[in-house]
Structure 1
Amino acid sequence: MIDALLILNTGSSSLKFQVFARDGLAMLMAGKLTGIGGDTRLAFRLGPAGARDDSALACADHEAALATVIDLIDRHDEDWRLVAVAHRIVHGGSRFTGPVVVTPQVAAALEALIPLAPLHQPHNLAGLAAARALAPGAVNIACFDTAFHAGHEALFHSFALPADLRDKGVRRYGFHGLSYAWIATWLGREEPDLAAGRVVAAHLGNGASLCAIAGGRSIDTTMGMTALDGLPMGTRVGAIDAGAVTYMMRAFGHDPDTMDAILYERSGLKGLSGISNDVAALLASSDPGAAFALDYFALKVAQFIAVMAVSMGGIDTLVFTGGIGENAAPVRDAILERIAFLGDIQVRVVPADEERMMAIQAGALLGAA
């Protein structure tokens, strides 16, 4: 009998999953459901080198999608016993600074954080609710994207706001922490000399941010209270003058929901190019808007790398990860060209593996329990 960990990353219309053996963390199964709520497709493989299986089906909601995953595990397992389900939760606020077993009280606290991550948190919690209903014998564990940054000094997590607002939780939290925790873990195992130094990790994808990591610990990051600040992203604006937001509300009559739609869904590479948030499509396009969007993105990443370097007193290593960071060499080259003045820097490309990081955290939490 193999005790197994099911790792879930739940999006608005997708569900990514991996199954790991608890002992040794061998990957047993990996897959993804897309188009939940419509024409759903399931793609999965058994083991890291298994053949891909792709099929169409209908999943009305996240509970139906997870039921499909559990049925898939039941049909393909080799004497696996599901002992825990680990969930990626984007926002843990100031309370959750590491992985936790989910109780009804924890679930209620996570629901209260929905306004801080409106694009992600509701879907993360939908996956959690489905798992509690469909796998009642398994322990549910929440792993947080904010937790890696929980040790930031006040100098780095504060906004220049009055104390009464800061005391109510209006502060910088940072995100992509599971990705950055994996980078720190990978460097510590594979290149400990680099891990001991000053690292800027660049998680560049449809969501994008940077993290200053010194001695394996997060010092600073570009995202703030929500997953909107810092770098421009696929459809998110990144850093913007707060006065520009209030101006648009007053001048154009936009309410908060309309502003959320503009800032989260219509901006970034999509808004700059007027074409797409897909970097591959932008690289292939001859439209001047595509080139402008990519140049802007490279400029802002380079500028914020310098910001992260200041937070650590220098930079020794730059690590690219995420869909753009791993696959878009022209974008990496444009960024590196702009920071050449910083001198000799070690550069690495490390594939993101948030699911394995979650498996590590879940296994450690189960062992401690």
Structure 2
Amino acid sequence: MQTILTINGGSSSLKCTLFKAEKDNATPIYQFKLGNILGDPRITLKDGNGDKITPPSIDVSGIDKPERHKKALSTVLEWLAEHTPHLEITAFGHRVVHGGEQYSAPVLINEHVLKQLKTFIPLAPLHQPYNLLLIEACQALAPELPQIACFDTMFHVGQPAVERHYAIPRKFTEEGIHRYGFHGLSYEYIQKSLSHISDKAGKAKTIVCHLGAGASMCATLQGKSIASTMGFTAVDGLPMGSRCGNLDPGVLLYLQRHHHMDTDALEKMIYQESGWLGVSGLSSDMLTLHQANTPQAEEAIDMLAYRIALELGRLSAALGGLEQIVFTGGIGENDADLRERVLNRSQWLGVVFDEKANTNNLQVISTELSKITVRVIPTNEEAMIALHTLDVIDA
């Protein structure tokens, strides 16, 4: 039995979960969620049963923004040291968004690995810098503990070349410019959950819809990734909270030539100013859009549903058929309206869903008449990180 702290950081957020981990099982003890780290931080803390308890306070006034993730992590470690002196952390497990060509499995972090991971920052500018910032924070706060990197890209290694490669000069493909796919830790957890339901569910022709502010879809066959919506970077595919998703490259050339937008301006637009935020002109938060009651907010919601339905068709073609759909992620698990929009557009596939089951977010929302089983399954990236970390340190 090992005690592992998983670390999952964003540009202004940090999620840490303390796990007791043993072979094929990770049990949460405490779950920390810190938001708005770069502004006025807020913290929620839950015990292993999911019940809220009084969180520690955090004061970042006078602390430079680049140091605030370290301060947030320090707050978590200090609280754990005070309240769980009987538990000694044995390792840190990190979510790292991009593993590039080099990393197709979890890896023990050293200076060489960290240096290589920094070269992937341009491929995931919203996430990779903060993933690595937290690794460096752990090195400073607890240098004696091993750190394991678990990659969002690794689940998709092994996709067929016809899916993975772009129609560009081969020299660029050989340089590593190809589709990688992301949200792999989530897809891996869902696949594990399906296998626990039944052998048939685990091996079925399945499309998993991971829907949150970052959204993607993945086609799996026999438990393996066959195709996905995200590509070379995590800006591709579905329209997301502030990311544009699939976009004709000619649009970027046009904006560069006729609106005189340089690389930085284009990057900011496609990562931070587009998606639901850009279409609605209001927010990158789906709940806010549902409550807005404006034509632009409605368009943003319906565009997402439409694009999900389109990708169900493409990914079904990659699978040679479809037997199962899984909705997961914060929106996939909780937004019955969006699921209904998607499934109404997917009736041609043979989908028949139960409106009451969908409204209540039940685990199975299809009816017995449906040719395709439709499930709602909560994801748990942190549990996968803990299990991968355990495998590496026990090896």
- Is TM more than 0.5 here? yes
Superposition pairs of residues 351-366 of structure 1, within 5 angstroms: 351-366=378-393
Q: How many residues align?
A: 367
What's the counterpart of residue 201 of structure 1?
208
What is the one-letter code of the residue matched to 1:15?
L
Determine which of 333, 339, 346 is the counterpart of 2:373.
346
- Structure 1: distance between partners of 2:70 and 2:335: 35
Deviation at 1:356, TM superposition (A): 0.4
SS at 1:220's partner residue?
A: strand
What's the counterpart of residue 40 of structure 2?
39
Matched, 1:242 2:243: no
Q: Which range moved further: 186-195 or 119-128?
A: 186-195
Matched, 1:367 2:394: yes
SS at 2:93's partner residue?
A: strand
Determine which of 149, 154, 167 is the counterpart of 1:147.
154
Matched, 1:67 2:68: no
Deviations 1:288-335 (A, max 9, x none): 111111111110000011111111101100000011101110000000
What's the counterpart of residue 286 of structure 2?
279
What is the one-letter code of the residue matched to 2:382?
E
- Structure 2: distance between partners of 1:94 and 1:52: 42
Matched, 1:18 2:17: yes
Deviation at 1:237, TM superposition (A): 0.5
- Structure 1: distance between partners of 2:204 and 2:85: 43
What is the one-letter code of the residue matched to 2:19?
F
Superposition pairs of residues 48-67 of structure 1, within 5 angstroms: 48-54=49-55, 56-59=57-60, 60=63, 61-67=68-74
Deviations 1:172-213 (A, max 9, x none): 100000000001011111232111110000001100110001
- Structure 2: distance between partners of 1:54 and 1:367: 32
SS at 1:39's partner residue?
A: coil
Deviation at 1:137, TM superposition (A): 2.1
8 Å contact kept, 2:231–2:237: yes
- Structure 2: distance between partners of 1:213 and 1:271: 31
What's the counterpart of residue 266 of structure 1?
273
What is the one-letter code of the residue matched to 2:179?
R
Matched, 1:9 2:16: no
- Structure 2: distance between partners of 1:48 and 1:27: 8
8 Å contact kept, 2:2–2:390: no
Deviation at 1:78, TM superposition (A): 5.2
Taking only aligned residues, the RMSD between alpha carbons, in angstroms, comes to 1.2
Matched, 1:329 2:356: no
In structure 1, runs of 5+ residues without a counterpart are none
- Structure 2: distance between partners of 1:52 and 1:334: 37
Q: Identity over the aligned pairs, expressed in percent?
A: 40
What is the one-letter code of the residue matched to 1:18?
T
In structure 2, runs of 5+ residues without a counterpart are 351-370
- Structure 2: distance between partners of 1:149 and 1:185: 15
Q: TM-score, normalised by structure 2?
A: 0.91
8 Å contact kept, 2:210–2:217: yes
Matched, 1:92 2:104: no
- Structure 2: distance between partners of 1:357 and 1:226: 22
Matched, 1:115 2:144: no
Deviation at 1:55, TM superposition (A): 5.2
What is the one-letter code of the residue matched to 1:327?
N
Deviations 1:200-245 (A, max 9, x none): 0000110011000111100110000000111111111000100111
Q: Which range moved further: 285-294 or 110-119?
A: 285-294
Q: Which range moved further: 162-171 or 190-199?
A: 190-199
- Structure 1: distance between partners of 2:304 and 2:34: 30
SS at 1:25's partner residue?
A: strand
SS at 1:26's partner residue?
A: strand
What's the counterpart of residue 254 of structure 1?
261
SS at 2:52's partner residue?
A: coil
- Structure 1: distance between partners of 2:17 and 2:82: 15
Deviations 1:144-189 (A, max 9, x none): 0000001112111100011111111111100000000001011111
Runs of 4+ with deviation above 3 angstroms: none
What is the one-letter code of the residue matched to 2:207?
V
